[in-house]
Structure 1
C-alpha cells in the first residue's frame, strides 16, 4: 500500500531519478552501452512511465488532477532531456523520444487514474 506520508518522497524521488537520467545520458558512450540492453523506445517508455507513477502517487488532488500533473510534468521533463541532448555533440534531441515519453506518461497516468478511482470507490 502506498503510504500518504511518503507522497513527498515519491514526488521528489521522481525529480532525483530524472536528474540521474539526464546526467547519465550526458556521459559519452553511456547511451550506446544502454542500447545493447534495450532500444531507445523501451528505455524511454519504462523510465518515463515510472516517473509518471511516482509523480501521480506523490501529488495531491483528485485522480484527474494527479493524472494531468503527471503528464504535464513528464512533458516538461522529456523536453528538458531532449533539449540537453541537443547541446551534446555525441547526442541529438529527438521529437520522437519526447512523444514516447509523453505517451508512456499518459498511459501510466490513465491506468493510475482508473485504479485510484476504483480504490476510492471501494473504500
Structure 2
C-alpha cells in the first residue's frame, strides 16, 4: 500500500499537490512568531531545511511526468523557487530574516534527493 501511494503513477497528482500544500504550511508555520525558536530546540536550521526540502523534492519528482532526468530538473528548479520564496517571505518579517545560506541548503537537498531519485527511477524503469 505504501508503495502504491509513494510511487504509482495513479497518485502522482496527489504527491505533486501535496508538495505545494506542505510548502504553504512551511511558509505559514515559519511566519508564526516564536515558531522557529521552538523548532530550534528539536533540530538545527540546516537539519530542518534539509529534511523539509528533501521531502518536497521527493514529492515533486515522483509527482511529475517525463523522463527521470526531466523530473530531476523540475524538482530542483521548483525547490530553488520555493526556497527563494520562503526566504523572501522571511525577509519581510521583523522577527525573522531571509538567508542565502538556507536557500543553498534547500537547493543542495533538492539536488541530492533528485539525483538519488533519478538513479533509482532509471533502474526501476530499466527493470520493468
Q: Please, what TM-score do these two structures have when normalized by structure 1? A: 0.99
Where does residue 89 of structure 1 map in the other structure?
94
Alpha-carbon separation, structure 1, partners of 2:127 and 2:18: 29
- Alignment partner, residue 107 of structure 1: 112
User: Where does the alignment leave 5 or more consecutive residues of structure 1 unmatched?
Assistant: none
- Cα distance in structure 2, aligned partners of 1:103 and 1:44: 10
The runs of at least 4 aligned residues of structure 1 exceeding 6 Å deviation read none
Aligned to 2:84: 79
CA RMSD of aligned residues (A): 0.4
**How big is each residue's C-alpha offset from its partner over 1:69-102, in whole Å with a ceiling of 9 and x where there is no partner?**
0000000000000000000000000000000000
**5+ unaligned residues in a row in structure 2: which ranges?**
none
Count of matched residue positions in the alignment of Structure 1 and Structure 2: 123
CA distance in 1, matches of 2:75, 2:125: 19
Q: 2:45 aligns with which of 18, 40, 56?
A: 40
TM-superposed CA distance for 1:3, in Å, is: 1.6
